[in-house]
Amino acid sequence: MAELMDKIVSLSKRRGFVFPGSEIYGGFASTYDFGPLGFLLKKNIEKAWRYWNVESRTDVVEIEGAIFLHPKVWEASGHVGGFADVLVEDMVTHKRYRADHLIEEAGILENAGALKPKEIDEIIGNHHLKSPEGNQLSSAKLFNLLVKTHLGPVESDATVAYLKGESCQNIYVDYKSVQETTRRKLPFGIAQIGKAFRNEITVKNFLFRTREFEQMDMQYFVRPEDADNYYDEWKKNRDAFYTECMSFKKENIKWRQHAPDERAFYAKDAWDVQYKFGELGFQEIEGVHNRGTYDLDQHAKFSGQDLSYFDEETKKRFNPAVVECSGGFNRLFLATLFEFYKEEKERTVLAFPPRLAPYKAAVFPLLANKPQLVDKAREVYDALRKNFMIAWDDRGNIGKRYYSQDEIGTPYCITVDFDSLEKDNVTVRDRDTTTQERVAIKDLDSFLREKISMS
Ligand code: ATP
């Protein structure tokens, strides 16, 4: 039997959620495009995230920053010097591998991410670790993950620029402008959904690890002495985001604390939120970090600008500390597919809550060759389309149409039949229970509205 991941990849492609990038050219190293349904699901996930993190609160604002940032930003953040994975090379095929992944996959250590090249060499030697092809491995070397490019007509050291290695840097760089223009007092947060690029060595597991992805950040600025309390608060908030806002089952979410040698030297504490991706097991989807004042200290130092905050209450001036919640959109999207994918006797269902579903309903004429039914169904379709994303289907028989909508997660199927012509009502079939009820056409709008808001 195919593994869950294979089924999700195949459904995503077949139904237009996610296509392999540049496919007519044979694809391009784990790049993906969101198709029409994937795009709609993406927007709905973003909407849920935005409601939870920004709109429902009074202390968080959202920005959208540029992909190119001044190269010094990446020196200040430590990415130019230290944003590196440790690699080993197969001495025969010259393929490179992430050393920590090889060590973890061989079952030698559970978390090998913090190992230094020297320690890795020792482990490889002691355990006679070979490459996946069974060949000898080279000694370990650091490999920087920033994606480098040149801006402007000349390629020289002076024109080097990097694509954002992590999206949140705009937030630190814009912190002062946001604080001043919004007249915020601590504590307050800045949220952003933005692209990030990493020259990952091993790209794998569909959307899970790619070189281009999106991050969903919420960076919360606090008085340094308040950071621990807010850190605890945000950890609870993130748990609730996944279980309440995303409606993920509690048992599919787990928290993992970083060991002291795994986290950045300045971080006081760091936890990952993990999601259970079927056969891949629990994997990180978000990092929640208690970062201290490092980010603003560094940018103040490298830019020469004063980024300090004057506290009216204490009459003290200081750089605020940061509590960071940095989630990966692509992993959240993938987790959403895993969470709501169901196989039943005769059908496959994406049982999304209506508010996340790409289409809120589908409208069918019972028979496609009866113009009165088609016209009436069109009327219903056109009226609902004003307020919701609605699908139309007049192919095949009703049963097939239901299954086709179940597979893309449409919560309600509305059928216009002969009774509809006389009574101005329709059959509404529920995706999850497969039961049907008659609803007056004039009530359909409020029916859908209520179901979406309750979900
Ligand atoms: P990993 O250990 O899996 O490489 P990370 O700890 O480097 O991830 P962070 O730098 O904390 O990740 O980034 C925050 C979030 O961004 C991660 O929790 C993840 O959801 C997402 N992310 C990071 N790298 C990738 C990637 N290559 N592809 C897709 N999403 C990613």
Q: Is 406 in the pocket of ligand 1 (CB under 6 A)?
A: no
Which domains, ranges and CATH numbers included, belong to the chain? 4-71+165-341 (3.30.930.10), 84-144 (3.30.40.230), 348-454 (3.40.50.800)
Instruction: Report DSSP state, residue 152.
Output: S
Q: Rounded to an integer, what distance in angstroms lies between the CA atom of residue 265 and that of residue 367?
A: 67
Which stretches within 289-328 are classed as H helix?
294-303
Q: Is 210 in the pocket of ligand 1 (CB under 6 A)?
A: yes
Note the pLDDT tens digit of each residue in 64-99. Answer: 999 999 999 999 998 988 778 898 988 888 788 999
Residue whose structure tokens are 């296509």: 19
pTM: 0.92
Nearest CA to ligand 1 atom 8: 284
Atom of ligand 1 nearest to the CA of 207: 29
CB atoms within 10 A of CB 115: 20
Q: Cα dist. 154→145, 172, 346 in Å?
A: 23, 30, 61
Q: Please compute, for residue 5, the number of CA atoms within 13 A of its CA located in the half-sphere on the CB side.
A: 12
Q: Rounded to an integer, what distance in angstroms lies between the CA atom of residue 38 and that of residue 301?
A: 42
| CA torsion through residues 219, 225, 228, 234, sign | negative
Closest CA relative to residue 21, chosen from 148, 195, 211, 164: 211
Q: Is 308 in the pocket of ligand 1 (CB under 6 A)?
A: no
Q: Is 198 in the pocket of ligand 1 (CB under 6 A)?
A: yes
Q: Which two tokens stand for residue 227?
A: 């950071």
- In terms of DSSP bridges, do strands 269-276 and 141-144 run parallel, antiparallel, or are they unpaired? unpaired
Atom of ligand 1 nearest to the CA of 200: 27
Residue 55 dihedral angles phi and psi, to the nearest 5°? -65, -35
Note the pLDDT tens digit of each residue in 333-365. Answer: 999 999 999 999 999 999 999 999 999 999 999
Note the pLDDT tens digit of each residue in 235-272. Answer: 999 999 999 999 999 999 999 999 988 888 889 999 99
